């Protein structure tokens, strides 16, 4: 089987002397959605940050389209076509929605109008609020701004750290719909989710992490069907 488009292989590392990740592997194919679930403190966000280069690895490697990017800074990874939406503080609150999108496209020197139109098509509400300060929007709208900002670089991979944290179930469903739409345009999506059940439903691939290593890895459907996964991680 050919190598996945993005893979963080056998990653080991942590913030200080203590490792949080122990040989953890995450991968996502082009245009697919991979979801990382697991109990609190399992190292889900840490694994994500490791893939994005926000944490130094002591072992393992990260490859994008076959190229080893393990030593690149997060900024350099942005230039390589990766985009990251942090869990909190993921928008510029004092700037307008449109300025948030412009800042997302900061590295691009070409015309960004087309991409902006695509983002507005994806999230029509943002277009009506384009001149409003992003900090004044509701929680769900702010998440849309955050995702929109990340999409402005025209990334090949979009990484989302708990995009539905703190939003209502209706908004969550809508956000997931949008994420599926994004994936259909050929962008790979790697995301961490608390709402494991709903996330696995839309996932092509699911990773269940426990204590910094892979406990189960399978398609989203298969994981949903696995009685052990259901019992331990999906609440029955």
Rounded Cα distance between 83 and 181, Å, is 17
Closer residue to another protein in complex, CB, 146/182: 146
Closer residue to another protein in complex, CB, 79/225: 79
- Written as six digits, the tokens of 41 are 């403190």
Residues that bind another protein (CB under 8 A): 74-75, 78-79, 84, 86, 89-95, 99, 102-104, 106-107, 149, 153
- Closest separation between CB of residue 32 and another protein, Å? 23
Residues in Cβ contact with 85 at an 8 Å cutoff, skipping those fewer than 6 apart: 146, 147, 149, 150, 158, 159, 160, 161, 163
- Closest separation between CB of residue 92 and another protein, Å? 4
- Closest separation between CB of residue 74 and another protein, Å? 6
Q: Is the dihedral of CA 38, 2, 79, 150 positive or negative?
A: negative
Closer residue to another protein in complex, CB, 103/225: 103
Among candidate residues 154, 149, 124, 159, the one with its CA nearest the CA of residue 44: 159
Closer residue to another protein in complex, CB, 38/86: 86
- Closest separation between CB of residue 53 and another protein, Å? 11
Strand partners, 85: 160
């Amino acid at each position: 089987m050919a190598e996945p488009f993005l893979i963080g292989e056998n990653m080991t590392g942590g913030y200080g002397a203590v490792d949080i990740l122990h040989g953890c592997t995450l991968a996502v194919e082009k245009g697919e959605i991979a979801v990382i679930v697991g109990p609190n403190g399992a190292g889900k966000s840490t694994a994500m940050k490791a893939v994005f280069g926000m944490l130094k690895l002591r072992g393992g490697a990260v490859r994008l389209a076959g190229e080893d990017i393990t030593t690149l800074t997060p900024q350099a990874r942005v230039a390589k076509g990766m985009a990251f939406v942090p869990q909190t503080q993921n928008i510029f609150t004092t700037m307008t929605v449109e300025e948030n999108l412009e800042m997302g496209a900061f590295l691009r020197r070409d015309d960004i109008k087309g991409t902006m139109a695509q983002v507005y098509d994806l999230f029509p509400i943002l277009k009506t609020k384009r001149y409003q300060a992003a900090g004044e929007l509701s929680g769900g709208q702010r998440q849309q701004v955050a995702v929109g900002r990340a999409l402005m670089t025209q990334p090949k991979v979009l990484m989302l750290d708990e995009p539905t944290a703190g939003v209502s179930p209706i908004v969550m469903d809508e956000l997931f719909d949008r994420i599926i739409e994004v994936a259909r345009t050929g962008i790979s999506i790697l995301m961490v989710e608390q709402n494991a059940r709903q996330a696995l439903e839309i996932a092509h691939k699911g990773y269940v992490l426990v204590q910094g290593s892979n406990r189960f890895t399978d398609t989203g459907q298969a994981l949903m069907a696995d009685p052990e996964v259901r019992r331990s991680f999906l609440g029955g």
